[in-house]
Structure 1
Amino acid sequence: MQALRTPDERFSNLPGYDFTPHYIEVDDFEGGQLRMHFIDEGPRDGEVIWMQHGEPSWAYLYRKMITPLTAAGYRVIVPDLIGFGRSDKPTERSDYTYQRHLDWVTQLLDQLQLTDITLVCQDWGGLLGLRLVGEQPERFARVVASNTMLPTGDHPPGEAFFKWKAFSQEVDVFPAAGIIKGATVTPLTPEIYAAYDAPYPDESYKAGARQFPTLVPVSPDDPASDANRKAWQGLQGFNRPFLCAFSDSDPVTAGGDKIMRKLIPGCEGQAHTTIEQGGHFVQEDQGEVFANIILNFLTQNPIK
């Protein structure tokens, strides 16, 4: 598999981001390996909070949340998906599949030997993370879901998603930072805007970002639909603490929290909340608020 690696200097002096990079090697399923990046902050014996980004962001999205959580004694791990951030970027769009992304994340969890995980997921972080919770519930002690869902294709995702998908496939230059800017309610400074573009020196680095929208199941016979339905069976038996913390200004995922609260037993009795003045990328708009919501949730739901 041919892959590109973003030069390290692209990640120098990014505002609010001074975390030490960590790497593992994962199988590329074609006889080679890829380098996967992750942040690993806080005490190694602390309870694990795994925060998973989506499309087309990277670990930088969680920068405002990491320090408050580690200061409270938690170990915070934030991986960059293959194709994003500081992780390697296969050059062919066909290199990226829903299952491969799941397998790459699973390899990270296996190599780090993580257990009793608190998952924090948003956007594709949920399409991957919630799938794993449904398939491997024993790994997870708690879940916090924001602006995400586990789609099966049995219900149309809505006009806003189809407009986004068409744009992502038709635009000549895929504007990674521009997409972040368009899905937040607070302005991005030029320096923060540049940080979201940092992983992508040119269009050849964006195959993964381009491919993601096409991998969302939108019809009942999508390649991932059956597996996601089975994962929902697991989620419908997941009775560990599960919190929905969606934002008030995200037309793409609005209402997804109601479905999860209805179907997932672990949602019962939790302090579900709507984060005000938050767009789709609520971590950028209200990162500190989101971190405090997570801390309150963890305090109220200790691991037994």
Structure 2
Amino acid sequence: MKTLRTPEDRFRDLADFPFAPNYLQVDDSESGSLRIHYLDEGPAQAAPVLALHGEPTWCYLYRHMIPRLATAGHRVIAPDLVGFGRSDKPARREDHTYARHVAWTGAVIRQLDLTGITLFCQDWGGLIGLRLWADMPERFARIVVANTALPTGEQPLGEAFGKWRDYSQTVPEFRAGRIVHGGTVSKLTEDEVAAYDAPFPDESYKAGPRQMPLLVPMSPGDPGAEENRAAWRVIRTLDTPVLTAFGEADQVMAGIDAVFQEQCPGAAGQPHRLIPAAGHFLQEDAGDALADLVIDFIVRTR
């Protein structure tokens, strides 16, 4: 598998990002390996909060939440998905599949031997993380579902998602920073926009961001759809506490929080939240509030 690795100098002096990098190697499924980057902050002995980002972001998205969680005594593990951030980037779009991304992220959990996990998952972090919860529920203590879905292709994801998917395939220059900026209410500074662009020196590094929108199952026969149906069959049997926290201004994921509230047994009686003045990338708009929500959720469900 041909891969690219973003030069380290692209990550120097990023705005509000004082965290040390950590790396591990995972099987690339073609007799090679991929380097995955992750943040590991807070007390090493504490049960982990696993923060999974989506498309086209990286662990920089969690920079506001991490210090607050760590100060409260929680360990925070925030990986960069393969193809994003400091992680290696398969150069061919066809090397990015839903199944591979689930396997690569699952390898991180197993290598770090994470247990008692509080999962915070947003966007593709949910499409991947919720599959892993269903695959190894014994490792997960609670789930925070934020602006994400676990689609099976039976229900349309809506006009807003269709427009995003079309845009992602037709825009001549895929500018991650401007995309994140557009998906927030509070908006980013130019330095923050540059930080989201940092992993992608040019278009050759963007196979992952370009391909991910096409990997979302849109019909029942799409790759990943049956695996997601199987995951839902497991999830409907689990009493793991589930809390939804959706940005009120997110048009792409609007209403999907109700699916989790209705289908997850552990969601019953939880104080689900629609976060005001927060868009799709709600970690940017309401990072402190989300961290406090997670802290409270952990305390209440221990």
Give the TM-score of the pair, scaled to structure 1.
Answer: 0.98
- TM superposition shift of 1:207: 0.2
- TM superposition shift of 1:84: 0.0
- TM superposition shift of 1:223: 1.3
- TM superposition shift of 1:135: 2.2
**Which residue in 1 is equivalent to 2:7?**
7
Judge conservation of contact 1:80–1:86 (CA < 8 Å) in 2: yes
**Which residue in 2 is equivalent to 1:212?**
212
Aligned-partner Cα distance in 2 for 1:149–1:133: 14
Judge conservation of contact 1:44–1:75 (CA < 8 Å) in 2: yes
**Which residue in 2 is equivalent to 1:146?**
146
**Which residue in 1 is equivalent to 2:161?**
161
**Which residue in 2 is equivalent to 1:233?**
233
Deviations 1:115-143 (A, max 9, x none): 11110000000000111112221111000
SS in 1 for 2:118: strand
| Moved beyond 6 Å, runs of 4+ | none
The residue type paired with residue 279 of structure 1 is: G
**Which residue in 2 is equivalent to 1:91?**
91
The residue type paired with residue 142 of structure 1 is: R
Aligned-partner Cα distance in 1 for 2:190–2:89: 25
Judge conservation of contact 1:35–1:87 (CA < 8 Å) in 2: yes
**Which residue in 1 is equivalent to 2:114?**
114
Aligned-partner Cα distance in 2 for 1:176–1:238: 36
**Which residue in 2 is equivalent to 1:44?**
44
- TM superposition shift of 1:285: 0.8
**Which residue in 2 is equivalent to 1:261?**
261
Aligned-partner Cα distance in 1 for 2:194–2:223: 35
SS in 1 for 2:157: coil
**Which residue in 2 is equivalent to 1:270?**
270
Question: Structure 1 vs Structure 2: percent identity of aligned residues?
Answer: 53
- Mark the runs of 5 or more structure 2 residues left unpaired by the alignment: none
Judge conservation of contact 1:145–1:244 (CA < 8 Å) in 2: yes
Is 1:221 the counterpart of 2:221? The answer is: yes
**Which residue in 2 is equivalent to 1:171?**
171
Judge conservation of contact 1:133–1:234 (CA < 8 Å) in 2: no
Aligned-partner Cα distance in 1 for 2:79–2:57: 11
- Mark the runs of 5 or more structure 1 residues left unpaired by the alignment: none
Give the TM-score of the pair, scaled to structure 2.
Answer: 0.99
Is 1:249 the counterpart of 2:249? The answer is: yes
Aligned-partner Cα distance in 2 for 1:198–1:296: 33
- TM superposition shift of 1:27: 0.8
Aligned-partner Cα distance in 1 for 2:257–2:159: 18
Aligned-partner Cα distance in 2 for 1:135–1:87: 23
RMSD: 0.7
The residue type paired with residue 257 of structure 1 is: D
**Which residue in 2 is equivalent to 1:21?**
21
